[in-house]
Amino acid sequence: MMTAFRLDSTNWSPDLFILKWLTFFGFILGLGFGYSYFTPIKARIMLVAYSIIAIPGALTITTDNTLPWLQRLSGVLSRFGITFGNFFNNIQIEDPILFISFLAVVVWFTSLSAGYLMTRRGKPWLPLLVSAITIFSSEFYYLQNKNLYTSFFVIFALMVLSITNFMHSTRSWHKKGTMVEYETNYNISKSALIASIVLVLLAWNISGIVSAFQTSNPRQKLSGLFEDIRVQFTKITAPLQGPLRVERTFYGDSIGLGTSAVLGEDLIFTVSVDQFRPNGSRYYWRARTYDTYQDGIWTSTFPDVEEYTPTSPDLSYQDSGRYPLREFTFKTNTNLGLLYTPMYPIQSSREAKLLFDKVDLENIDLGAMTLDQTMFAGEIYQIKARIPIPTILAMRNAATEYPDWVTKKYLQLPEDFSPRLRELALEITKDETTVFDRVSAITNYLRRNISYQEKIPSPPENKDPVEWFLFDLKQGFCNYYASSEVLMLRSIGIPARMVYGYAQGEADRNQEKFTVLHKQSHAWPEVFFPGLGWVEFEPTSSQPTLTRLSGESNRPSQADILAETDQGSGDNDQLNNRLDQISEIEPLSDSAINRFQLVQLLPYLLIVALADLIALYIIRRRRIGISFSPPLLLESILQKRGWRVPGWLKSWSHFNQLSAAEKTFASIVFANSFLGFPAAHSSTPFEMVLHFSAIQPTLKPDAILLLDEYQRAIYSHQSFNLALMQRLSRKIVLGTLRKKVHLLFNPVEKSLLAATLD
């Protein structure tokens, strides 16, 4: 135990505290098996089995405790894989996971064997020897201060050795009939005490002795005999010998524009999303916001600092409450010094330090979420965030009166600001009447007139880099594009800010997993619209154009198009041409299209879930104060235990999070799936209704009317009739149930219907 306390006192890593728990439980477990009647072989097999569970379990304690256990274990294994790869490729190791694991194995098996051998054989020599080597090695490598742990260890070890040896000798003497003097025990104790004092003095001054012993002559070093081993071990302990180097794209308080874009195919992190990406949006992984510009340098001036924990209240932002929520799981592949997040993070599974401005009593203006302790490659964290999806119509109609906290900070211009930038901004926007159109005009100007170049020469002295970029060089990379847009917008009274981080990355087919490489490091502008909040724009020509939903309602409605095909035999080409006139409509998620049926029923799972449900219901209402939702709570319980969430529960949980209008339209999805003819996962609401109408033509007018009301509720600012939608939804569900019964007794009709749909 003294060895574990000594190692923890070095502060080589904050995670060394697990050594004390491993030592304690390992010794208790060893004592138990030592006293047991298990044969040595059986005892060893069982101890190895316990070890396979205990050591990885202890390592997962050092990870984010809000993640499910399997994700935490996956993160530890990923860190192992990355660190081993660096070790064998002779790359500097930055994560102390190998060193911590090595010590964990040493103290665990030492404590196990100490308890086992002491009770079963009375010979704890080997564990004491290993402990002595470990604790004196820590003295050899850690010379900063003296401590009492080594002293106590020496005294304890010597007393154990002397008493154990005396007991063995006494037993042997009794067997041989040898007479033992009464003072023998006293003499041995006195000798042990004198020896312990000498060794304690030696331990107390061993740092000085070791320091004096280390000279420039390698032949005088004891460790020179094991130089090759020492070199390899030094690699493992490299992260403990000084400050850790965090990932090189860490963004500090100030950042320059530079002369080259960040390149490289190195994987930074992958991001998994719990649902589809909302249409009219693009993910940007924000690192830090910058608000003040001077001479080619951006500075982040957020005065408020606050510690955030996973139990902290949700973060709140002005004008963001109407945007959809998504949950993101980040798996890192490099060391991080801050958390990358979408636009409006409201929850984090990781402790962080918030840099922000207090907007009012409830809302903040977030600058960054930094980490006091480095997040190592392979670790996992989760972010729940709101994703802005403002429509073009909403941005055009936005007010132009900005809050004081916006104008005071996000209209800043340097004192020597060139009037040429303002003149250019006015020239570009002279024909535009709304803020959105002015922003779009400047964005398009930069995309069309500035060439993207990964490397550029250094800006000339005595000239602002942005002015030189716009009027002389006319080529550059994202830092210059974004800076130019922010400064030009500010010069004509439009609040804007600079953001650094990463672009969306490479998406999978379902747009639910993104791979972010080093070369996708990016900078972009954000513009404030009253009532809508901050909105990203993309002036960098190497990036795809950022397209928003129009929000226009003066186009042919989908109900009108459906009416033209009421007889079921219209011109498909004409229908497709009319469909092209309709703006893209956000499809429902895959989970909403799954069948609403029971996939599996596990009795023991339901019993555990019910018990947790009751307990967490009380805790959640007291601590968080949110409404109680059984499916969401049950799904969370299963995820935290690393168990697979059944499809029916995912569907129920997703349905529970829908708005009232979305729940009514879900009857269409349910009807298609329940009858055995589900629509494609990528189908739009219009296509789902078209598919439904082919299955149940008698309910087509109701479905059309429900679709129109649904579009008013979701994609426009027009009023909608929720009571009507609910009535139509009930009618569709009842009609679907009757249709299901009818098809059960008419299999031929079902086959014909299936052939028609195919």
| 370 pLDDT above the threshold of 90 | yes
> CB neighbours of 327 closer than 8 A, spacing ≥ 6?
273, 274, 275, 382, 383, 384
| 745 pLDDT above the threshold of 70 | yes
Q: Average pLDDT for residues 662-674, to the nearest whole number? A: 86
Higher per-residue confidence, 285 vs 714? 285
| 633 pLDDT above the threshold of 90 | no
**Hey, what are 757's tokens?**
């749909």
Q: Which of 540, 517, 541 is nearest to 285 (CA)?
A: 517
pLDDT of 585 reads 41
Q: Are 286 and 524 in contact (CB under 8 A)?
A: no
Q: Average pLDDT for residues 13-29, to the nearest whole number? A: 76
Q: Model-level pTM greater than 0.75?
A: no
| 377 pLDDT above the threshold of 80 | yes
pLDDT of 609 reads 53
Q: Are 353 and 372 in contact (CB under 8 A)?
A: yes
Q: Say which residue the tokens 């909608």 belong to.
A: 720
Q: Which of 663, 256, 677 is nearest to 480 (CA)?
A: 256
Tell me which range, 25-29, 405-409, 712-716, 750-754, is most confidently predicted by mean pLDDT: 405-409
Q: How many Cα atoms occupy the beta-carbon half-sphere of 383 within 13 Å?
A: 21
Alpha helices for 411-477 (secondary structure H): 419-428, 435-449, 465-468
CB atoms within 10 A of CB 670: 21
pLDDT digits (tens, 9 = 90+) for 335-363: 888 999 999 999 999 999 999 999 998 99
Position 152 confidence tier, pLDDT thresholds 50, 70, 90: low
Higher per-residue confidence, 149 vs 282? 282
Q: Average pLDDT for residues 275-299, to the nearest whole number? A: 93
| 420 pLDDT above the threshold of 90 | yes
Q: Average pLDDT for residues 713-738, to the nearest whole number? A: 88
> CB neighbours of 278 closer than 8 A, spacing ≥ 6?
324, 326, 387, 389, 586
In percent, how much of the chain has pLDDT > 70?
Answer: 68
Q: Which of 159, 163, 133 is nearest to 6 (CA)?
A: 133
Higher per-residue confidence, 38 vs 6? 38
Please tell me the least confidently modeled range out of 56-70, 252-266, 380-394, 655-669.
Answer: 56-70
Where are the domains positioned within the chain? 2-142+214-240, 254-536, 558-600+646-757
pLDDT of 175 reads 66
CB atoms within 10 A of CB 260: 12
The per-residue pLDDT of the chain, averaged, comes to 77
Q: Across the beta sheet with 521-529, what order do the strands follow?
A: 285-290, 496-502, 521-529, 533-536
pLDDT digits (tens, 9 = 90+) for 496-518: 999 999 999 999 887 889 999 99
| 423 pLDDT above the threshold of 60 | yes
Q: Average pLDDT for residues 123-129, to the nearest whole number? A: 68
CA distances to 96, 562, 577, 737 from 567, rounded to whole Å, are 71, 10, 19, 24
Higher per-residue confidence, 198 vs 576? 198
| 2 pLDDT above the threshold of 60 | no
**Hey, what are 181's tokens?**
């003097």
DSSP for 666-677? HHHHHHHHHTT-
| 568 pLDDT above the threshold of 50 | no
Higher per-residue confidence, 677 vs 488? 488
| 331 pLDDT above the threshold of 80 | yes
> CB neighbours of 83 closer than 8 A, spacing ≥ 6?
93, 95, 97, 98, 377, 378
> CB neighbours of 13 closer than 8 A, spacing ≥ 6?
96, 99, 100, 239, 240
Crossing angle, helix 97-120 and helix 2-9, to 10 degrees? 170
Higher per-residue confidence, 749 vs 528? 528
356: left (phi > 0), else alpha (psi -120 to 50), else beta?
Answer: beta
